[in-house]
Structure 1
Amino acid sequence: MRQAVNQRIRINILRVSFLLLVPIILFVRPHIALEGIGHEVIETVGTLLLIAGVLGRFWSILYVGGVKNAEVMQDGPYSMTRNPLYVASTVAAFGIGLMLGAFGFALLLGGVVGGVLYITARRESAFLEAHFGAVYRDYADRVPFFFPDPRLFRSKTEVTFRTNALRRNLFDAMVFLSFIPLVELIDSFKLHFGWSLPGLW
């Protein structure tokens, strides 16, 4: 029988990857001048996407925290997509790229994070089908694998959640949200000292 995906390894890999991202963003050249209104608009959109991704992660954790791989969650965000946690993380990563004003980097970062999580989700899906059989297959027939369909939303009136799952997610949320002041700091550095590093993307 298939084994469940080791979530701790995947989470730690993603955490380390985001820490490695910090020096890389010094080399990201914005497509629009930092002083212009256009850059502020793109940065604001990116910030909103990052916050939406973090909130989406919390919403997903409220439903699946503590029961992942123990049951087939089909309510709340899981009624619209089978992988809302991964979709939210991908949106947040794309938002970080936009905050830097670099469309190419936003697509690259969102694509890499989304790709890694998509592959992980495929492995998880195989485990859930092997473990839950017809229950999961029925769910998979109704609900999209990755891209959400809001028309399918349904939820119980009351949801019980586990606080330890929220606490674990809080650290990941802080990692994502730390990019908001970090990007502002880097923008200020670039404006004050001028661009001296070779730009990428």
Structure 2
Amino acid sequence: MPGTLAEKFCFVQSAIPKNITKTLIDRAHSGKRFVRKIGDPQWWEFDFVTPPLRYDEAMELYAFVCTQGGQYGSFFVPNLFPQIATGLSAKVAPNILVGADSFTLSSSNYMPGDFIQFSSHDKAYLVTNVTSTHVSIYPKLKAAVGSGSPIKYGEDVLFKVSLQNDENDLLIDAKKGKYSSVKLDLVEDI
């Protein structure tokens, strides 16, 4: 069972979310471009940098990273991005089929740019549009969601991730004394 990154390391100085999709591209001699997708591949990647940590904290985080076995292990990272919506009224999903890119709610105040997650699977989704009755998400739903499934949002979203590399190092900046920032390159593990 994957562990969860300790809450004390979930305050970041900077975070870069990356949306990764794969497109097959071929260009003819004439310059015409041919593009297609096989399936609907999509995952999130993140580059996180912590604020300066005390040496003991940096080494504790580094020890956690080392125990992951490089790209082999996976763990959960709480959503580090600020929640835009407040006072959400719709916290339970209707029945949603695989491949859907929106769902109906009788009332909601979700906001584009917020991440959500359905309790039935680990994938995180980005809210892209909201009307009075529909919430659009990206990417398309990867697994069916049963009626009544709780919808996680804000800090309740847990990204299941693994490290981007098998080699992970820690730079201790001598100029900062006993403080160091730690950079983590993570990829969603779906």
More helix by share: 1
TM-score, with length taken from structure 1: 0.27
More strand by share: 2
